[in-house]
Chains A and B, each alone.
Chain A
Amino acid sequence: MKRDNHSTFLVAAALCVASLCIIAISVASGPRLLNPFSMDSETCRILLTLRLPRTAIALLMGGALGASGAILQGIFRNPLADPYILGISSGASLAASFGLMFGISLFTLSVPILAFIGAIATGAAVVILGHGWKGLQPERLLLAGVGIGFFLSAVLMLVMTLSVDDGLRRAVLWMSGDLSMVDWGVLPVGLSFIVTGLGLALTRRRGLNALTLGDDIAHSLGFNPTRERLFLFIAASFMTAASVSMGGVVGFIGLVVPHVVRRHVGSDAAVVLPLSVVAGGTFLCLADAIGRTVAAPLELPAGVIAALIGAPYFIFLLGQRKTH
């Protein structure tokens, strides 16, 4: 067990070092390369109003998605579960797109707030529909989420076909996980919900481990499976809703990051959850930095880059698993 702890510590330390390096690269890179040794007022302005908030929000969004994916894969006992399979992103997208396309902009935070409300309302609807006579069963919850997700996506398509051109473009960008429009304003609310969700998940980490073995074993270990699943679902919903509301829909991180983390440090939720936060945040930060430099001055959405890098890596990992 000592070797186990030792290797986990080494992986965590390596990840933190990589994370710090990528944060530094993300802050410095962009259409204009920032040099920390020659800071003028324009450089400071770019740093404080563009790069730092963007990097911080990418870290938070990716971290929240990584942890949500780890939670949902555990409570559904399904390696394909991710924060978007439950319709939460569809609810957020519909509400935010409604605001973007029909010009509902009473104040600057109206789109994030609409997205958050849409995500939480969808999460609540999934829980209500997913609750059967045996409590919150994974299969029923999953089916409720997929069903609601498809319905909301269909409504979203309908709304998009009825929208004006400019609003449509902005909505499509938002749904691709575009971080070019973020600023400090969305940070406090997003941060508070992510911290709340992560804190709640960490207090239920043992329940998450037990649920991964099935409800009967979780019960035998003294847990109430329905209660644990509900708390963990709320935690994942909070983090996903906060992430989507800050910068739109970024796919793939919630699916792939927990798998990569578990591959290196095992599956104990006490380790997987915090490391999924660090790995998810770092990965999105990297994707965003690449997205805004690789085709500059054109900016590619971070969500698109994350999927373009993540998918081949994921397939590579699957290939490796097959050969072992």
Chain B
Amino acid sequence: MQEMVSMTTLEFANVSFSYGPKIFMDQMSFSLAEGELVGLLGANGAGKSTLLKLAAGLLSPKKGKVMVGSKAVGSYSGKERAKLVAYLPQILDLQAPFRVGELVRMGEYPQEGSQPLSVEEALRIVGLQGKVNMHLAELSGGERRRAYIAMTLVQGTSVLLLDEPLASLDIKYQFDLYRLLKEIVRDKGVSVFMSLHDIGIGAMLDRLLLVKDGRLIAHGDPESVLRDEIVQDAYDLNHSIGLYLATNRTLSRALAVAGLH
């Protein structure tokens, strides 16, 4: 049997970070393989956004290294980095004064004409074909987020970092976006690393990282991470949520049967 060897696209090696004198993130180590859809869970203020910003090169670690490809993310020039990593913040300007085509074309900037995916193809993948001339403000909330994702697809990076991409979307758009990300991971070999606050969606991903107070307290497949005692500790709960987790796992399996997972 041939063994599948996946390349590491993103690696945190003993990364520590602080906003002031107090250490906020300590000795964080994990890696992301090519073509993985990995979720990042944790309570508000646990360090999810900080971790994604470190991965994007928006913040620099105080100690340790954030590696993208073969080099530290901070050692690339802006344009080189933008060919490898794309980042979408939690708060997107959904009222930006651009047409869909103008927004998505911005993904071409780092590649300068040699991008692996055309604007039209990216729009087709996210289901916005035919809306190229529409203003962003004319689309639904879910479509606007998909337009931003199309921009990152045109950017053609191997790592896609998404901060709470499913927040404020209703269940239809959550599943649409989730299915889209699964397709991108499967068809384009992109590694997607996204923060979430919905444990139900987390149960459907390839792998989960659970953080608390800037520390990684669990990582692995959803079955092993989403255990009652671990989740109680992560979210400082003082009661069992075993039934809630079991329901989410059941829902996840039901969605798999329905072809959504």
Contact = CB atoms under 8 A, between A and B. Distances in A.
A219 B56 contact: yes
A256 to B, nearest CB: 15
B93 interface: yes
Contacts of B78: 219, 222-224
A315 interface: no
A274 B7 CA distance: 46
B96 A212 contact: yes
Contact of A213 (B57, B81, B96, B99): B96
Contacts of B106: 206, 209-210, 213, 221
B88 A220 contact: yes
A159 to B, nearest CB: 40
Given A214-B93, A222-B81, A267 B88 contact: no
Interface string A192-215: 000000000000001001101110
Given A1-B132, A4-B132, A262-B97, A221 B56 contact: no
A220 B56 contact: yes
A103 interface: no
A219 B79 contact: no
Interface centre among B80, B83, B98, B120 (most CB of A within 10 A): B98
B102 A267 contact: yes
Nearest to B101: A1
A221 B80 CA distance: 10
Interface string A226-267: 000000000000000000000000000000000000100011
Contact of A4 (B53, B82, B99): B99
Nearest to A214: B93
B86 interface: yes
A1 B133 contact: yes
B155 interface: yes
A124 interface: no
B87 interface: yes
A266 B89 contact: no
Chain A interface residue count: which class?
A: 20 to 34
A224 B96 CA distance: 20
A154 interface: no
Given A221-B155, A222-B110, A262-B97, A216 B82 contact: no
Contacts of B254: none
A214 B89 contact: yes
Interface string B142-186: 000000100010010000000000000000000000000000000
A295 to B, nearest CB: 38
A217 B28 CA distance: 25
A131 interface: no
Interface in A261-311: 262, 266-268
A221 B119 CA distance: 15
Interface in A21-61: none
Contact of A216 (B83, B89, B155): B89
A212 B97 contact: yes
B93 A220 contact: no
Nearest to A267: B97
A77 interface: yes
A286 B169 CA distance: 49
Looking at B86, B102, B152, which has the most chain A CB atoms within 10 Å of its CB?
Answer: B102
Contacts of A206: 106, 109
B86 A220 contact: yes
A3 interface: yes
B107 interface: yes
B253 to A, nearest CB: 35
B58 interface: yes
Contact of A221 (B57, B82, B133): B82
B120 to A, nearest CB: 8
A4 B78 CA distance: 30
Contacts of A212: 93, 96-98
Given A206-B109, A213-B106, A222 B98 contact: no
Nearest to B111: A222
Nearest to B155: A221
Nearest to B82: A222
B99 A217 contact: no
Nearest to B99: A266
B112 to A, nearest CB: 10
A209 B103 CA distance: 9
A32 to B, nearest CB: 45
Interface of A: 1, 3-4, 77, 206, 209-210, 212-214, 216-217, 219-224, 262, 266-268
Which 10 A-B residue pairs are closest in the complex by CB-CB distance? A222-B82, A222-B78, A222-B79, A220-B87, A216-B89, A267-B97, A222-B110, A267-B98, A266-B99, A268-B102
Given A220-B155, A222-B77, 16 more contacts: A206-B106, A209-B102, A212-B93, A212-B98, A213-B98, A214-B91, A216-B53, A217-B87, A217-B92, A219-B87, A220-B87, A220-B88, A221-B110, A224-B78, A267-B96, A268-B102
